[in-house]
Structure 1
Amino acid sequence: MAAAVSRPFTNSEAIACLHDIINAFKLPENNIRIEEARDNAGNNMMQMMQIVFPVTTEIQMGVITKYGFSADGDGMIRFSQTIKNFEKLDPEIAELNAQIRTYVMPQMDAPPPMQ
């Protein structure tokens, strides 16, 4: 399967895809998976990368295939690069992608200052 769309990926498709990803994160079964992964990772950034990131990536892969991207690492990279390019031109896409990033990498609490 090709990693990139065989036709141009439009601005409106990017917006629709980002909305679909956010909605996929909010589905009860996916929301439970994400929250369990976050609970297991705690406030450890390495654990976030090892536990939360793969869950959110898998959910995103299930959506991007509907827009012509492959459900693998190459497809995710191409999708991410495409969205980054659109972000520069469209503030709505930038905002939607920022919302997605909060699922993928939620805000971490800073560790207490060392004494």
Structure 2
Amino acid sequence: MASPQSISVEQMRTILNEVINTLESPDYASKLDEAKEAAGNEMLKMMQLVFPMVVQIEIETIKRHGFVGTREGIVQFTQMIRELESMDSEIARLHSMIRNHYLPPVSISSTVDTSL
């Protein structure tokens, strides 16, 4: 088990894939779907209902890889993702997949006038 300070790109990919697999597993996918349905497209409700479920799954996963299973551990993990995703497009893609579980879809209108 690597210490969080010396985690490699491959190890981070493994951790992120484990989180995604758990989020998409039959046990959690239905719970997440129910929470998303209850939240609708309201960001505040998404952060209250869905985000904590995703964070809990992340905490349980990162504990198995040497991180502390606390708020500090998840902050450290997230900082490492930010550093590594700038160097590795696969980590950025995996992190984006996780964020898609708790960020509601945003529709951007192409008819918006951006001129000043």
TM score, norm. by length of structure 1: 0.85
- Call closer, same or farther: CA 1:37–1:109 in 2, change over 3 Å: farther
Aligned to 1:106: 104
> What is the RMSD computed on CA atoms of the aligned residues?
1.5
Report what 1:10 is aligned to: 8
Point out where structure 2 has 5 or more consecutive residues left out of the alignment: 109-116
Offset at 1:45? 0.9
Selected match of 1:37 from 20, 35, 38: 35
Query: 4+ residue stretches of structure 1 with deviation over 4 A?
Result: none
**Residue 69 in structure 1 maps to residue 40 in structure 2:** no
Partner amino acid, structure 2, of 1:72: T
Cα deviation digits, residues 46-78 of structure 1 (max 9, x gap):
101111111111111111111111222111110
Q: Please state which structure has a larger fraction of its residues in helix.
A: 1
Seen in structure 2, the aligned counterparts of structure 1 residues 38 and 89 have a Cα distance that, compared at 3 Å, is same
Q: Give the gaps of 5 or more residues in structure 1.
A: 111-115
TM-score, normalised with respect to structure 2: 0.84
| Counterpart position of 2:44 | 46
Deviations 1:3-41 (A, max 9, x none): xx3651111100100111110101111111111110111
Q: CA deviation at 1:104?
A: 2.5
Q: Which residue of 2 aligns with 1:28?
A: 26
Which has the larger Rg? 2
Which amino acid letter does the alignment assign opposite residue 80 of structure 2?
A: T
Could you tell me which residue of structure 2 aligns to residue 56 of structure 1? 54
- Count residues with an aligned counterpart: 106
